[in-house]
Amino acid sequence: MSSNDSSHFSSRIGFIMAAAGSAVGVGNIWGFPTQAATHGGGAFLLVYLVLILILGYPMLVAELMIGRHGQTNPADAMANIGRSTFSRQVGKFIGFASIITASLICTFYMILSGWFVSFAIAPIAQLSGFEPMANWLMAFSVERNLLFTLIFTLMVVLVIRQGVQQGIERWSKRLMPLLLLILVIGVGYILTLPGASEGLTALLVPDFSRIWETEVLVGALGQTFFSLTIGTGAMMVYGAYLNKQENIATLTAYVTLTDTSVAFLAALMIIPAMYVAQHNGVQIFSADGSLLNADTLVFTVLPALFDTLGGA
């Protein structure tokens, strides 16, 4: 298989955007701000950055190397690095377990991403005068969830059917820069609102007495794996489509930096937005200081904040 084969990524930036697009997801946009807000803000951020450096980056390098070496699915790729029959069988089992894990995670992503599609269409329906339709799109019902889970699934299938270069790579190169632009604009807007400075302090000023708390360490460790999509075999699949000439260490650094930047930007937008909402009278925290519920961050706080923009 030649390096120019259409089954490989055609460019370095294409691979970085696609791999970062795989790593970047609700784990960054929803999960990271939720974990940070729940586990001490700045303390969680500090522990997370350390774990990304000493665990996340090396493990991502390893998964990409195994994938490129095997040039096949994660189960066979893991088996290929074994030197004995027993080690190959163990490798195959681990690879197969990662495929099962990715499939289970996929069910969660499909439903949640269906919500995002529905919430994105709702303002269009509202501006077009279809108020009942907009309300239905925003309400959590079984019918709406099933419909938009199916719609999102079909969107994913359509992209994958177009192949590596014309599907995954092409759309990643378009959508990832757009995501970064939206986040930067969102951060810029939210930081101008009253109450945002309190959220900024909560995120950026660590309470060093909390960095050794079990819940902070476990939360940051779990977020490291979840955010970079480590342990699911997904990055082995991306590595299988990587040209032999590419420097994996450099590519992984770019992917890790992009993923971490998105997580930080999301937190920089959502956590100050929480305090802006609290300043405006929205209850975010319970009496004991914990979040009322995890989906408050994305599905309650941000829509309420976007309402302040008016029809736009």
CA distance 105 to 97: 12
Tell me, yes or no, whether 205 lies in a domain: yes
Q: Residue 182: pLDDT above 70?
A: yes
109, burial (CB in 10 Å: exposed 0-12, middle 13-18, buried 19+): middle
Residue type present at position 305: L
Q: How confident is the model at residue 146 (pLDDT cuts 50, 70, 90)?
A: very high
Residue 297 has pLDDT above 70, yes or no: no
Residue 4, pLDDT above cutoff 80: no
Does residue 70 fall inside a structural domain?
yes
How many other CB atoms are found less than 10 A from the CB of residue 206? 16
Burial-class residue 67 by CB neighbours within 10 Å (0-12, 13-18, 19+): buried
What the block records as the tokens of 204 is 């950026």
- Each residue's pLDDT tens digit, 195-236: 888 888 888 888 888 888 888 888 888 888 877 878 777 888
Q: Quick check: 269 pLDDT over 80?
A: yes
Mean pLDDT computed over 162-178: 84
What integer best gives the mean pLDDT of the chain? 82
Number of neighbouring beta carbons within 10 Å of residue 279: 14
For the four alpha carbons of 282, 285, 291 and 293, in that order, the dihedral sign comes to: negative
> Which residue, 1, 10, 14, is CA-closest to 174?
14
Q: Is residue 7 part of a domain?
A: no
Query: Which band of pLDDT confidence, cut at 50, 70 and 90, is reported for residue 2?
Result: very low
Does residue 106 belong to any structural domain of this protein? yes
Total-model pTM: 0.75
The domain total for the chain is: 1
In a domain, 141, yes or no: yes
Q: How far is CA 124 from CA 178, 246, 263, in A?
A: 19, 43, 27
How is residue 185 written in tokens? 């604009």
pLDDT beyond 70 at 300? no
207: Cα separation from own chain's centroid: 26
Gyration radius from the chain CA atoms: 21
- Classify residue 2: in a domain, yes or no: no
Write the pLDDT tens digit of every residue in 80-118: 888 888 989 998 998 888 888 888 888 888 888 898 899
Q: Kindly state whether residue 114 falls inside one of the protein's structural domains.
A: yes
Instruction: Report d(CA 143, CA 145) in Å as an integer.
Output: 5
The domain in which residue 41 lies consists of: 12-306
Residue 58 is assigned to a structural domain of this protein: yes
Share of the chain above pLDDT 90, in %: 9
